[in-house]
A and B are shown apart, each in its own frame.
Chain A
């Protein structure tokens, strides 16, 4: 154990005196920003796609849109997120001659990627809401879109919240691949500390603990939101 204590000392040295905590904070910040903003973008894209995919399909426009959405979902679910990141950063951006920070790229890619997954989650949520809710809205003269926005989607979100929480947790953990395009996240930060001290055991252990704490916090947050949304339900 004496060996391990020494390793902790080395880690403390680099972390506090060597300024390692600054990198870690930056990494933590990036991880959270990428996951949170990515999720927000994902929910936005996902809701739109899900709404389009549940449209009645006897007109041409919904059919075409539905096809496009299927293509989008297939594309983003069919390739690993690392590949999407690399293609976006090293292929698309140079081709379009756009300069963009690695973190920004990561936010967009994670948003679009989770949008594909969330669209299917959201679709199942919308379909789980009784058809009568839509009919009730239409019968008082609200349009399809307004009924969807005010009645169906709020209920769908309530139904899918546990699954959405899953998606958020997955997103937090998946952010550890952004180092492929050179963005600093938690993994990069601790890797940096490790390479500075030639000592990886403690940094990686601390990294794992930070991830666990993050995920536990998120789970708690989801539970609180869920409880406040359940107030229209009967007690069970």
Chain B
């Protein structure tokens, strides 16, 4: 589903990622662990081109999205991302946060279809042959909004926050914000969700509720790439664990391989410190 080929990222003279080749398959939960400064977050942010890779390519659903000519926004719609600091839109209510992008994307499609149909009809009336066909319009703008709202409410109900739909993010706790952020990326029906240290900015008490949502997602078969310091989560949920150090992927394997039977000294010393 996602494949990185010779992915490299430099900030000036500093090389953060050195030649990374990784394949993430559908339905996999890939957990990336490693010391801070090892390039985990940069790697994750490169996957959806939040940071533009210096070299190499990222193949997502068969398209190289590292190519600057590609419409990155289109591909990001199928690639959710959850941040350490939630990044909910402060000027929108919870439900508006969730609805904003689906509604925008659908409305844009609708406008495009209408414009297309207008020109096709125009050409037909003048008897000019046109290359494009009439696109059937199934939904009005009001319907798009209504559907998005219903979908958002269903998703909110799943995480038990449907009563918070109309309040602003500033009135939510950290854990609630992060759950809403997860739902916001789910609302786009993504093929994969990237998690950038989703629990690192949370109180210990709230970590559990966020991990619970993520576990349920994994159970439902969502493809996930998770950068985290929660080793318990990695052990329990991961289908594959990557250990990164100094911009390289030093080791990868099943949680058992990594945690019970580490090969390199670097991983051994890392695990000794965090476990």
Contacts and interface: CB of A to CB of B under 8 A. Distances in A.
B73 A142 contact: yes
Interface string A138-153: 1111110010001100
A135 B83 contact: yes
B90 A232 contact: yes
Contacts of A138: 50, 73, 76
Contact of A151 (B80, B89, B169, B181): B89
Contacts of B101: 140-142
B87 interface: yes
A139 B91 contact: no
A110 to B, nearest CB: 29
Nearest to A136: B87
A141 B188 contact: yes
Interface string B161-190: 000000011110000000001001100100
Contact of B77 (A130, A140, A151, A154): A140
Interface of A is mostly: helix
B104 A142 contact: yes
**Contact-residue bracket for chain A:** 20 to 34
Given A132-B85, A158-B91, A140 B76 contact: yes
A139 B87 contact: yes
Interface residues of B, number: 32
B87 A141 contact: no
B88 interface: yes
Contacts of B184: 140
A231 B92 CA distance: 10
B89 A139 contact: no
Among A140, A143, A158, the one with the most B-chain Cβ atoms within 10 Å of its Cβ is: A140
A137 B89 contact: yes
Q: Which of B74, B76, B80 has the most CB of A within 10 A?
A: B76
A178 to B, nearest CB: 37
8 contacts: A133-B89, A135-B50, A139-B185, A141-B74, A141-B75, A141-B105, A142-B100, A232-B91
Interface string A218-236: 0000000000000111100
Contacts of B85: 130, 132
A11 to B, nearest CB: 50
Contacts of A150: 100, 104
A233 B168 CA distance: 8
B76 A136 contact: no
A140 B90 contact: no
A143 B75 CA distance: 11
A139 B90 contact: no
A47 to B, nearest CB: 16
A49 B184 CA distance: 31
A132 B81 CA distance: 12
A141 B91 contact: no
